[in-house]
Amino acid sequence: MIEGLSHMTFIVRDLDKMERMLTTVLDAKKIYDSGERTFSVSKERFFDIGGVWVATMEGDPLSDKTYNHVAFKMGADEYEDRLQRIRSLGLEIRESRSRVQGEGHSIYFYDYDNHMFELHSGTLEDRLKRYAEG
């Protein structure tokens, strides 16, 4: 039986830059750093982001940017602060898709290795309710 999400892993060129992005934008807490050791396929670091285990491993970045992404929940009143944090790191912000009133607000952005992240203020329940209204 599936119990939930175990972890997410992102392959990155520069572990330090990714750590800076995760801690600055997503309030990540670093919980492990392999240093020069490799227990898996490369050097790695583990973070806790809102109770989710996120791993970063050193390696070749994604070659293309796509709409594949991971979304983290933010409070509705955090939009401007999070946007400023993203801009302060010079990260590329992707224009948000068109939205209907009531499904929350999102900020889409790419990290330094073409991974797309979203910060979203809505919930699944909000979205389903709004979609049911037509």
pLDDT band of 130, cuts 50, 70, 90:
confident
Q: What is the mean pLDDT of the chain?
A: 92
Q: Which two tokens stand for residue 36?
A: 């020069």
pLDDT digits (tens, 9 = 90+) for 71-118: 999 998 999 999 999 999 999 999 876 666 666 789 999 999 999 999
Instruction: Determine the pLDDT at residue 86.
Output: 97
Could you tell me if 79 and 56 are in contact, meaning their C-beta atoms sit under 8 angstroms apart?
no
Instruction: Determine the pLDDT at residue 71.
Output: 94
pTM (two decimals): 0.88
36 an active-site residue? Answer: no
Q: Domain residue spans in the chain?
A: 7-132
Q: Which of 36, 44, 95, 125 is catalytic?
A: 44
Looking at per-residue confidence, does 129 or 101 come out higher? Answer: 129
The CATH architecture one would assign to domain 7-132 is: Roll (3.10)
Average pLDDT over residues 62-77: 94
Instruction: Determine the pLDDT at residue 73.
Output: 95
Pairing outcome for strands 7-12 and 92-94: unpaired
Looking at per-residue confidence, does 39 or 85 come out higher? Answer: 85
Lowest-confidence pick of 9-13, 48-52, 99-103: 99-103
